Structures are given as structure tokens and as C-alpha cells.
Structure 1
Amino acid sequence: MASSSPQTESTVLVIYTGWSRRGGTIGMLIGNRGYVPEPFFLTETLKSQTRFHDPLQDSLFSNSGSVQGFRQFLTGGSGRSSPSGQSPSTEKFTPPTLLVRSSRPIGNFTTLGANQLETSTPPICVKLGDNLYEAHLPSLITPRTSVSGTSGSKSIRYAILEWNPLLDSSNIETDDWIRLASEIELNYNFDAFVILHGTDTMSYTSSALSFLLEDLGKTVILTGAQIPLSQLRNDAVDNLLGALSIAGNYIIPECCLYFNHTLFRGNRVSKISSYDLGAFQSPNFPPLVNVGIDIVVNWNDVIRQTSLRRFRAHKEMSPHVATLRLFPGIATATVRAFLSPPIRGVVLETFGSGNAPQREDLIFAFKEACDRGVVVVAISQCMKGSVSDAYEASRELAAVGVVPGSDMTPECALTKLSYLLSKPELGVAEIRKLVGTPLRGELTRQSATTLSQTTINQNIENIQGLLSELVRLSGRPSHNPQITISLPDEATQDAAASWTSTAAETASTEAALLPFLIHTAAARNDVEGIRFCLAAEATNDSIAIASPGPSNVASGLVNTLDAASGGSPLHAAALNGSAECVDILLHSGALVHLRDTLGHTALYYAARKGHQDIVTTLVQAGASLSGFDGGFAALAVQSAFRSGDKSALDLWSRAGMLVKEP
């Protein structure tokens, strides 16, 4: 069996919620009345396909990376699979299980009988407390493959938490959204999450979860299918495999929706077709990932988490919200009835860019509701575009208290209102202000800023400052160096001149030097150097910082990876005790869950080196010891017990380890 090292394996929890009546859904079969859900069909189907499950790494997918490997596979040198796609020895191999927790009992696996998923005894569901259950579920593992933008190859180990019974997505309720958020919180030790969901209400769920998952630091992806996996021709394979590949290989700390080779921000999408395979669109925001021959991540659009708060799932939503779509001739009595108690929030779908009929009785009905404390949010009935105050009709709505919702989708506006109204600490005025504020990238903030053109002299000044900082951070001179760049004059300048002082050349030079500078500054706790690097990035939007190593982390200098260690500036700062730099990096969007080439997070290095203040800061920001870190941390705890090192035991306890004498 091919070995799997920590840096070549990630863990993903797949939560299988159910289906939709159109057939979408991944694990459905044809019954007497059309498509029907069948328990455990999905797990058994994925188990039989080597692209989804290759525990011995002996499938065609694992042995076609080279001509030599494929020829050896054909001759049986690597344990060639049987025609069914499974190696004979696979039947006797028991894969590792993954501990999964849920707020509901985990399904009755005894129904699988003799076909139980590669284990002789069914998983036992244990009740730990009220609304808390756990079970060790058998895991599936993908072949070891590489994706664009990453180094080496990686397998994705995943477990499927199947809801019992499976839920028709048209029956989804706010309680189900809270259940999903709770299960992600209970299993936050996984590297990422994929939610299999019916397509009918998937955009509502992805919007709701984007708000319920507060200070999210890991990838959450919803996906489904228009044609189920049981059909020979389907879109289920591409959607599930694409979602797994992105979740297992990239850290995109958002709630996303993946469909038809595209990853969208979850609160920006709407279902636009019940017939096409491209069922979803994001009309006012570009995709986060485009999957073609290469996987292209638009890192500049990925949200950076800049708060020093741990992840938590918010577990309430107000049911007193609704959507009202205006139409010509709408009766005032209808509007008044709609706005009556117990309604607390209304998404008003207006004409065009926020217009409504200018009837005094109608406008007064909205004014009465707003004065009573009802939060009314105006969005456009158009798929593309935003609500503005360009027209008198839209200004009249704003004058009576209706809040402009910018370019939010109806699904997003509704779930955002429900989320905000569920927070008792927020008053009506605060909620109205937050409705128009992007909390999870759900709306486009209007900006009047324009791009400025840099001059040749400004380009030269930028590079001079960069080189001076490079020499300063090298630590050799005893004073701050000043470097001067002189351009050749017309008499000596020729086509072979190496420096042309163009904006593009300046940006490429900065992109090449800044990663080295920020890593050096982080290691030396040089706050001035960190701020210089971040300021240089912020003042030049044309800089596209590319990691010299794998680029599977969020955009920006703050998460650029070192080519040798695969670590980020946060790793360097934590390892070397640079507490001030750790704080600045976290407030600038550094990812606390990022692992280096050895599979370690910044928290592990801080605890290992005894940096108590950094451990406290990282834990506050949501860092945790899990996976590979947990095993090494357990060894360190045992060593501390043997040596009687109480300070080390206290430090590992602060880092989240359960410290008890062996």
C-alpha cells in the first residue's frame, strides 16, 4: 500500500442532506414515481468508483502519472485492479475511520448488512449529551493526484455524514440551516466541508450559511446535480469531484457553491434554470474559481479573515421575514396586510434600480411600517444591477426609511435579514446600517475612487524604497541604506537595457522581492518591515503576489508561501517568537489553519517553542491542533509529563490539548 504523509492528505466531511424533486440530486434512483432517495446508495456508489475511492492507491488514476508507472500497472507490478475497478485485496482492507459528530443520531448503518462499507461491524452511534452524538464512520479516499497551483500530489480522505431521513430541499427550514451550521462547528477539526444539497433551494442555504458561519476560516462548499449519479450520463460526478478537489486542496475561507465547473461565492448566486446543467449564476460578482484544463482561483476576490475571533456557528434565525415583489397596480391594502405584525423584516423587490409606484397611499404604508420598526430592504427585480438613488421614485422610498440593498440577490437579502433580526443585541437602527454593509462579501459597496496613473519617477521611487528595505532587513549595514536607481540616457540606452521603468516591470519586481521581505521581517519581529511590505502591496493594486511555492492559499502577500518550507509569514513569526508581527499578520488576513510542507500549523510551532503570548493570540483567532499537529502535540505532552515540565503542560493545554497523565 502506498504510504500517505500528512502533507499529501487532507480530510473533508461530506454532509449529505437530501435531494430535490427535479432529480437533483446526487444519490437518487428511479422508483415508481420518478426519482426517489435511497439511503447509503451514494456511499456504496462512490466506494465502487476508483476516482472517488482508491485505498490501496493501485487504480489506473494512481498509476498513470508516468509512462513507466502505467506500464508497471498493466503488468501487475503495482497490484493491478480487477476489471470491476477494485483490487481483490481491497475487500479485506479496513480503512481508517473518521470521528464525526452530529446534533442528531447518526444513521442506522446496520441496514447495510453483508455489504457494510469495508468494516466487519457497523459503526456505533454514541449519545454524548442533549443533541450531541458521535460515531466513527468509515472513510473513503481519492487517488493521489495533483491540481494546478499546488505542489506534489494529494489524496482527499472523507467521510459521508448522511442525514436520516434524507430531506427534500423544497422542504428545507431555518432549523435545517442551523443544523448544518452546528454540524460544521462540531466537526471543525476537518480541513474542509462539502454539503450535498438539492438544487431547488441551494442558493438560499448557501446564503444562510454564509452568515451563520461566523469568522469562518475553512472551505465550505455546497453542490448537487441536475442528473443523479445513478444515471450513466450525469453531472453529479463532475460536481462532486470538483467540489472535493477544491475543498481538499485550497483554503478558501468562505461558504461557496460549486456547479458546472464553477465555484461561486455562496451568497451571490441564484438558480436560473431547472433544465440546464449550468443551473446557477452569480450576476453581480465574478466566480471565485473557474475549472477548465487548469483550476484558476481568483484569489484577489477571496475574502480575507482579519478578525481575531474564533469560529462559531450562530444558531438562531428570525422567522418573521418575507419577500414582497412589487407589480403595476399592486393594492395598498395588500401591502398593509403584508407589513402587519408579526412581520419584522421585508425584502422589497422593486422595479429597475429601486423604483416603486409613487402613490401617496402606498408610500405612506411603507412609512408606517418603517416607523413601527419594520426593516424594509429594497433590491432590484433585475438579475443584474444595483439599487441606486438616481431616480425620484427610489429616493422617495429611502426618504420614508426603506434601506437600499445594493446588488444583493433575493435569497441573500432574505437570509441576511433573518440573521440580523435574530441578534437581540442589535437595535433597528444598527440592523438598517448593517443591511447596507458587506458582512460576507454579499454586496458591492459603492465607491467613487478611481485608479491613478503612476509616473516613471514614482516607479523608480518604489523600487528604490524596496531595495533599501531589502538591504536593511539583511542586517549587514549599521545604518539605513539609501539606494539610487539611475536610468540610462538616450545616448546609451539601447534595446538590451534591463530596466525600462514601466509600471508592469515595477510591479513584477515588487512581486518578486516582497515575499522574501515579509518572511524575513516576520522571522525577525521587524514590525517596520511588515508594515512596509503591506503598504507596498496596498498602494499598488497591479501587484499580483504569487508564491514561489504552491499557490493554494488566499491571495496577498500576507499568505505567500516560502518555497523551501511551504510555510507562510505567520509560520515564520510563530516559530521565531515574533509576537507583534503575529498580531499584524492576523489583522491583515493571515490564515491560522494553513499547514506547511511538514503538515504543521503556526500554532504548533508557537507551542513547541514555548511562546505563550503567541499561543494565546492564535487560539483567540481560531487556531487549533488537529490532524498531524495533534499526534506530535500528544508526544510533546507525554515528554513534558516524564520530565515534570509544568510550564510546557500548561502551554499545550492553552493550545487546546487535553492534558492528563498517561
Structure 2
Amino acid sequence: MDLSSQSDESRVLIIYTGGTIGMLVGPSGYRNEPYFLTETLRCQSRFHDPLEDSLFSNSASVEGYRKWSNSGRTTPVRDEFTPVTVPSATLPLSMLTIRSSRPIGVAPTLSPDNLTPRNVHTECTQISEDVYEAQLPSLVTPRSSAHGKKGKRIRYAILEWNPLLDSSNIDTDDWIGMATEIELNYATFDAFVILHGTDTMSYTSSALSFLLEDLGKTVILTGAQIPLSQLRNDAIDNLLGALTIAGHYIIPECCLFFNHTLYRGNRVSKSSSYDLNAFSSPNFRPLVNVGIDIVVNWNDVIRQTNMRRFKAHKTMTSHVATLRLFPGITADTVRAFLTPPLKGVVLETFGAGNAPQRADLMSALSEACERGVVIVAISQCAKGSVSDAYETGRSLLQAGVVPGGDMTPECALTKLGYLLSKPELSVVEVRELIRTPLRGELTLPPGSAAAPSIGQNLTNIHDVLAQVVRLSSQPSHGGPQITVTSPSREHEEDAAAQWSWTAAEAASTESVLFPFLVHLAAAREDVPALRFCLESQVPSTPLGEGGKAHQAIAGGIVNCVDPSSGRSPLHVASLNGSEACVQLLLEAGALVHLRDSLGHTALYYAARTGHECIVETLRKAGGNLGGSDVEGGFASLAVTKAWRSGDEHAVRIWTKAGVDTSTLTIAQ
């Protein structure tokens, strides 16, 4: 879902774990240097422009640039040798509260008194076991702009790990640490960017896709092949691209951004140690392509429909491994590999899931499966899937090996480690879940549904129009009625000739009608009409000219926003107190973290209008107050007013919505 029309500013937490992106040349080659990355970004106006006085912030239009240029100002250089020549009182030094599972270090930053770099001594407080809290200075980007129109800014803080890690040293505990950092800061930030080395980034992105359960916000991993310290690098494009997508769109998945492309995190592998295009996703197209325009393939973005609050799973078994078959592999080698404490194995097979047909080899695999070892077969080929088309593949299935579809080796391994760490799952259940797409990590067999005919398209449009007319019309009291008719089957060919109807045109027409209809249904608390909209969902149409798919509604009909207010159907249903509509929208994948043009969440509107049951439902679904709800003081103001008037019912509702009433100071 596009956030550009939501609120004026979004918050992103960058978790800097290490990697090439922030390295400097040392005596023995590239090495990580603490706080170098933070200082470098602070001195570049495309990454940090708090006063909006740089060239980047004043070049959205010719008029703006000329005004800035004629003022005699220049883009400030914020380093220790060239102080910023603006009054110190105007410098916004915004601090953000960050929580971490490890002690938090503070980088040198600008002092508010004389605007020169100085260590800001921020105390890191341990608030509970393995939870630390500190105030970190934030950086803020220039506003995004297009055709002279100013958009939103991205305010972000950098949580830097100590020590910084080369990605070859990342292990399962570090994956759990990253997931924990996101969980601790989930309610405070709109999205998360993880800076990571490229060598094992695809392992981390796959692991986090499973560890981050019921994720409702954007998480993006990125890094670089050439560090930011080099004049020619890919670090700027990768970091700025990831930051831009994270700050402007809600894509509730763990993703990987590299070389102008956003991939689903559990679908990628590192394919080159040399090219800037280092990653590939051979079996699943990218979620976002960044060119002149940012093109989001919304139909491929996962919609969470289970209505549970986000949590980080904090265990992963390390007793899993990968075994690659090769001609001449012996049964003794396989038996030795499969000995305890091994619990799961990713078996990289030939081609479409084939293996040598030797009785001793199959016996070794069968014995391990009977002992409870979960063996998953994937293909050694980068592109394609395992199947049972060959007899040599079916023998593996008979031995108890589970087909892994088109999962990557990194995904299959981390999925095994994730599932086997859940004590509540039996071996049979783990084997079944391996074959089930949990986070879009494997492709199900294609359906046999045929493309809709012209008659079906016309019928769909007729149904939509009929619902619009029914909901839009006031009680007639005997007045004239509006009737919508569709052509009969015998006149279908004539209608087609008159309309020159295509699937793309049908999708375009529906995409215009459905947003109006779904908002109208939510406003009127008309559950049947709302269900009609959500069940239709306006799927993507077949490929058009040039192989491009026609996208109907960005983010899906369930999250379409009203252009005048920025409200989603969930905002409307929550404001009107329709419990049935709220429940139906959440089941269809409505995003609870969306904010309207005023920066308010659906949870805020439900609490403000006193709909207690909806507040409870939204909280269970992962909703939190955010944006201007908290930063603008609207929630605290509402609680203060309720407290003064003795409205205990309202105070209770706001408490359930997440307001800590014990910290509010009520003026007498």
C-alpha cells in the first residue's frame, strides 16, 4: 500500500549489522569501522537535510531552485571543518527512543548549541533482562517530490551493532537477534531496513521471513558490493532505494533490495560475487522494480488474513544441513551424514528431483526418514521445481523424502530450522508444512481456471453497477427506479462488437468502480455488498502487449484509499462502528497500520468514537496507535478530556487502545 498520501513523515529503523556497505580499507583489506556509516549519511544532504536547505530539497521545480539559488545559500557541508551557518535554534535535533537486545552505542552527532560534531552522551538504560533502551539522534531525508509536488519525509535512526559483523560470521543467534530488535521497536517505527553483508544475506532474509510471524510492516535487507567509502559504489543506490520503499509503501513481507529491485526475501540466492546485480530470484518475479517509476507488483504482495498480533519467534534449531547428491555418492557417506543429532536435511537432487536408483542409497534415506529425520528434496538447478514425473524421483517419495517444490537451498534450510524448533509440531506436521507455502516461499501447481469470457466480464461489471446503484440510491417512496441491465447470451457477440471488450478494459473499469463501492459498503455497514467486493478482489488480468500484466488496484481492493481523505475501508468501518465489516476486512487482509491523510489509524477512530469491541478486535489483529495519534497528541488529549469529565468508559477504551494513562499529567 502506497503511503505517500498518508502522513507527512514516516519512521524507519535501520539495523546496521555490518557488511561491505560500511567498510573502510584497513591493513588487511576491507574492515568494518564503527559509526563511519552514520557519520557519512549525516554529511550527505540526500540522506539528511533537517532544515530542507539543500539543493535536493529546493530542486523540485524551476521556481524553487531559482529562489534557493538567488538567496545566496549553498548546500551545507556538515563536517567538523565546516560548521553549518544557520542559527542553532533552528536545527531540529530529534531523538528517537530505541530498544535493543544488547547495549546500545551512540555515534558522534551534531550538538544543538554550536552545530559542530560532538559526542552526545546518551545513557543506555537496561529496562529488563536483555532489553536496553536509549535515545538516538534521528536523520531525516529531503521530501520526495514529483512534478513539483512535495511529498513525505523519512525520519530514521541507525541502531548499530557492536561489534559489526562480516556476513560470513552471521549465525542463527544473530537471526534471532535481528528478529528481536524488530519486535522491540515494532510499535514505534513504520518499517525496518537491515544493513547486512551480501554473502549470507539470502540466508538471513529467508530465516527472518519465517521468524517474523504475522508481519504487518515492511522489512527490507540490503547491502553493497562496493562500500560507501569508495567514490564509485552501489551503496548509495541500494540504501536510498531500500529506505525510499520502506518509507513510502507497506509491503508486509521480509524483502531483499539490491540493484534497483525488491525481491521476496525467501526467493533469492546470491548469484554473483562480482556483478552489482548480485542476487536473482529465478522462480518468482520481483515485488518492486525501480526505474524511472517505482512499479509495485501488488498482486504478488502477501496479504495477512489471520488477524494475529505480530511476534518474533526466538528459537531455531541448528541441527539441519544440506546434502548435495553427486554421481558416485556412496550409501556409507549418506548414512554418516544422517547420523544424530541431525534432525533435518535439504537434499539437493538432480534435475526435477531425481537421485541414483541404488537400493543401498534408498535404504539409507528410508532408514533416516523412519527414524524421524525430515528430508526435503529440492533441485540443484537454480530455476525449476522438483516433481514426480520421473521414476527416479518417485523412489525418493517412496523412501519418505518430502518434495520441496521450487524453494531455494537457503529457504529450504531455514524453513526446516524454523519448523523443527517448534516443539508443538510433530514430524508428520513438519513434513506437511514443508510442502505448504507459509510465506510465499514456494509455488503451488498452477490452477486450471480459464480466462474470463467477454460475457463473464460484462456480467461482472453489471453486478458491480447494480451494487453501486443499490447503495447509492435513497429510498424511492414510489419514485422512479434506476435499472442496470446486461446483454443476454444470444446478444453477447453484438455487445462484444460494440464494446470491443478486452480483459484489460474489464479490469480497468472494475478498478474504477470497486474502490467507490467498497468504501460505500463500509460506510453503509452493508456486509453482503462488502463481501461481494472482497470476493471479487479484481485479480490481475492476463499479460497484455509487451508481456506486461495489467494491475487493477494497488494494494488490493481491501486496502484502497479514498483520495480526498486517505482513509481505507477499515478506517471507515472503524469510525462507523461496524464490527461485522471490520472483521470481514481483517479476514480479507486489511492493513491495520495504514494512516489516513491526517496521520490517524483505524484504531484511533474506533477509540475516539467509543467502539470498544472494535478496539479490542484491532488490537488482537496487531493494531497500534501511531503517527499523529501519538506524535500529534490527539490520543493523549482525548484521554485528558475523558479524565476531566469523569468518563471512565472512554478512559478504559483508550487504555485498551494502548495509551498508558499512568504517564499522563492532567492539568488542573
Q: Name the TM-score, length of structure 1 as normaliser.
A: 0.92
Q: Quick one: distance in 1 between partners of 2:540 and 2:168?
A: 47
- Pair 408,200 (structure 1): closer, same or farther in 2 beyond 3 Å: same
CA drift of 1:121 comes to 3.0
Q: Quick one: distance in 2 between partners of 1:8 and 1:29?
A: 36
Q: Is the 8 A contact 2:558 2:585 kept in 1?
A: yes
Q: Is the 8 A contact 1:17 1:196 kept in 2?
A: yes
CA drift of 1:658 comes to 0.5
- Pair 290,90 (structure 1): closer, same or farther in 2 beyond 3 Å: farther
Q: Quick one: distance in 1 between partners of 2:270 and 2:540?
A: 37
What secondary structure is seen at the aligned counterpart in 2 of 1:310? coil
Q: Is the 8 A contact 1:30 1:36 kept in 2?
A: yes
Q: Quick one: distance in 1 between partners of 2:126 and 2:275?
A: 43
Report the counterpart of residue 22 of structure 1 in structure 2.
none
Q: Quick one: distance in 1 between partners of 2:272 and 2:641?
A: 59
Report the counterpart of residue 599 of structure 1 in structure 2.
599
Report the counterpart of residue 638 of structure 2 in structure 1.
636
Which AA in structure 2 matches 1:34?
G
- Pair 520,498 (structure 1): closer, same or farther in 2 beyond 3 Å: farther
Q: Is the 8 A contact 1:101 1:134 kept in 2?
A: yes
- Pair 248,613 (structure 1): closer, same or farther in 2 beyond 3 Å: same
My pick for the range that moved more, 499-508 or 324-333, is 499-508
- Pair 127,83 (structure 1): closer, same or farther in 2 beyond 3 Å: closer
Q: Is the 8 A contact 1:44 1:117 kept in 2?
A: no
Report the counterpart of residue 510 of structure 1 in structure 2.
510
Which AA in structure 1 matches 2:464?
L
CA drift of 1:368 comes to 0.2
Which AA in structure 1 matches 2:641?
S
My pick for the range that moved more, 471-480 or 153-162, is 471-480
CA drift of 1:506 comes to 2.9
Q: How do residues 212-361 of structure 1 correspond to structure 2 at under 5 angstroms?
A: 212-361=211-360
Which AA in structure 1 matches 2:36?
F
Q: Quick one: distance in 2 between partners of 1:526 and 1:544?
A: 29
CA drift of 1:535 comes to 2.7
Q: Is the 8 A contact 2:635 2:659 kept in 1?
A: yes
What secondary structure is seen at the aligned counterpart in 2 of 1:136? strand
- Pair 215,115 (structure 1): closer, same or farther in 2 beyond 3 Å: farther
What secondary structure is seen at the aligned counterpart in 1 of 2:18? strand
What secondary structure is seen at the aligned counterpart in 2 of 1:221? strand
Q: Is the 8 A contact 2:108 2:119 kept in 1?
A: no
Which AA in structure 2 matches 1:461?
T
Q: Is the 8 A contact 2:218 2:254 kept in 1?
A: yes
CA drift of 1:639 comes to 1.0
Report the counterpart of residue 648 of structure 1 in structure 2.
650
Which AA in structure 1 matches 2:75?
S
Which of 161, 170, 176 is the matching residue for 1:178? Answer: 176
Report the counterpart of residue 565 of structure 1 in structure 2.
565
Q: Name the TM-score, length of structure 2 as normaliser.
A: 0.91
Q: Is the 8 A contact 1:116 1:122 kept in 2?
A: no
Q: Is the 8 A contact 2:299 2:539 kept in 1?
A: no
Q: Quick one: distance in 2 between partners of 1:314 and 1:275?
A: 34
What secondary structure is seen at the aligned counterpart in 2 of 1:12? strand
Report the counterpart of residue 621 of structure 2 in structure 1.
621
Q: Quick one: distance in 2 between partners of 1:202 and 1:115?
A: 40
CA drift of 1:629 comes to 1.1
Q: How do residues 100-499 of structure 1 correspond to structure 2 at under 5 angstroms?
A: 100-107=98-105, 109=107, 121-146=120-145, 152-188=150-186, 189-456=188-455, 458-477=456-475, 482-485=483-486, 499=499
CA drift of 1:358 comes to 0.5
What secondary structure is seen at the aligned counterpart in 1 of 2:246? helix
What secondary structure is seen at the aligned counterpart in 1 of 2:626? coil
Which AA in structure 1 matches 2:247?
G
Q: Quick one: distance in 1 between partners of 2:427 and 2:87?
A: 60
Q: Quick one: distance in 2 between partners of 1:142 and 1:296?
A: 21
My pick for the range that moved more, 652-661 or 320-329, is 652-661
- Pair 417,332 (structure 1): closer, same or farther in 2 beyond 3 Å: same
CA drift of 1:352 comes to 0.3
Q: Quick one: distance in 1 between partners of 2:611 and 2:129?
A: 37
Which of 650, 657, 660 is the matching residue for 1:658? Answer: 660
Q: Quick one: distance in 2 between partners of 1:460 and 1:110?
A: 64
Which AA in structure 2 matches 1:81?
T
Q: How do residues 517-556 of structure 1 correspond to structure 2 at under 5 angstroms?
A: 517-537=517-537, 541=541, 546=552, 555-556=555-556
Report the counterpart of residue 86 of structure 2 in structure 1.
89
Q: Deviations over 1:181-207 (max 9, x none)?
A: 000000002000000000010000000
Report the counterpart of residue 8 of structure 1 in structure 2.
8
Q: Deviations over 1:296-324 (max 9, x none)?
A: 11111100011110000000001110000
- Pair 318,377 (structure 1): closer, same or farther in 2 beyond 3 Å: same
Report the counterpart of residue 31 of structure 1 in structure 2.
26
- Pair 245,608 (structure 1): closer, same or farther in 2 beyond 3 Å: same
- Pair 83,502 (structure 1): closer, same or farther in 2 beyond 3 Å: closer
CA drift of 1:152 comes to 4.8
- Pair 536,494 (structure 1): closer, same or farther in 2 beyond 3 Å: closer
Q: Quick one: distance in 2 between partners of 1:161 and 1:115?
A: 25
CA drift of 1:447 comes to 3.0
Q: Quick one: distance in 1 between partners of 2:593 and 2:411?
A: 27
Q: Quick one: distance in 2 between partners of 1:595 and 1:244?
A: 19
- Pair 432,478 (structure 1): closer, same or farther in 2 beyond 3 Å: farther
Q: Quick one: distance in 2 between partners of 1:237 and 1:10?
A: 20
- Pair 453,472 (structure 1): closer, same or farther in 2 beyond 3 Å: closer
CA drift of 1:484 comes to 1.2
Q: Is the 8 A contact 1:80 1:87 kept in 2?
A: no
Q: Is the 8 A contact 1:336 1:365 kept in 2?
A: yes
CA drift of 1:130 comes to 0.8
Q: Deviations over 1:377-416 (max 9, x none)?
A: 0000000000000000110000111000000000000000
Report the counterpart of residue 40 of structure 2 in structure 1.
45
CA drift of 1:36 comes to 1.2
Q: Quick one: distance in 2 between partners of 1:421 and 1:135?
A: 35
Q: Is the 8 A contact 1:224 1:259 kept in 2?
A: yes
Q: Deviations over 1:235-274 (max 9, x none)?
A: 0000000000000000000000000000000000000111
Q: Is the 8 A contact 1:545 1:556 kept in 2?
A: no
CA drift of 1:537 comes to 2.8
Q: Quick one: distance in 1 between partners of 2:110 and 2:486?
A: 73
Q: Quick one: distance in 2 between partners of 1:651 and 1:610?
A: 7
CA drift of 1:622 comes to 0.2
Q: Deviations over 1:334-378 (max 9, x none)?
A: 100110100000000000000000000000000000000000000
Which AA in structure 2 matches 1:421?
L
Q: Deviations over 1:198-222 (max 9, x none)?
A: 0010000000000000000000000
What secondary structure is seen at the aligned counterpart in 1 of 2:603? helix
Q: Quick one: distance in 2 between partners of 1:357 and 1:486?
A: 60
Q: Quick one: distance in 1 between partners of 2:264 and 2:95?
A: 31
Which AA in structure 2 matches 1:351?
F
Q: Percent identity?
A: 64
Q: Is the 8 A contact 2:143 2:150 kept in 1?
A: no
Q: Quick one: distance in 2 between partners of 1:540 and 1:67?
A: 39
Q: Is the 8 A contact 2:6 2:595 kept in 1?
A: no
CA drift of 1:508 comes to 2.2
- Cα RMSD (Å): 2.7
CA drift of 1:326 comes to 0.4
Report the counterpart of residue 58 of structure 1 in structure 2.
53
- Pair 535,195 (structure 1): closer, same or farther in 2 beyond 3 Å: same
- Pair 427,117 (structure 1): closer, same or farther in 2 beyond 3 Å: farther
- Pair 539,217 (structure 1): closer, same or farther in 2 beyond 3 Å: closer
CA drift of 1:572 comes to 0.8
CA drift of 1:67 comes to 0.9
| Number of residue pairs aligned between Structure 1 and Structure 2 | 642
Q: Is the 8 A contact 1:118 1:138 kept in 2?
A: no
- Pair 152,597 (structure 1): closer, same or farther in 2 beyond 3 Å: farther
Which AA in structure 2 matches 1:164?
N
Q: Is the 8 A contact 1:316 1:419 kept in 2?
A: yes
My pick for the range that moved more, 469-478 or 183-192, is 469-478
CA drift of 1:73 comes to 0.8
Which AA in structure 1 matches 2:646?
G
What secondary structure is seen at the aligned counterpart in 1 of 2:377? strand
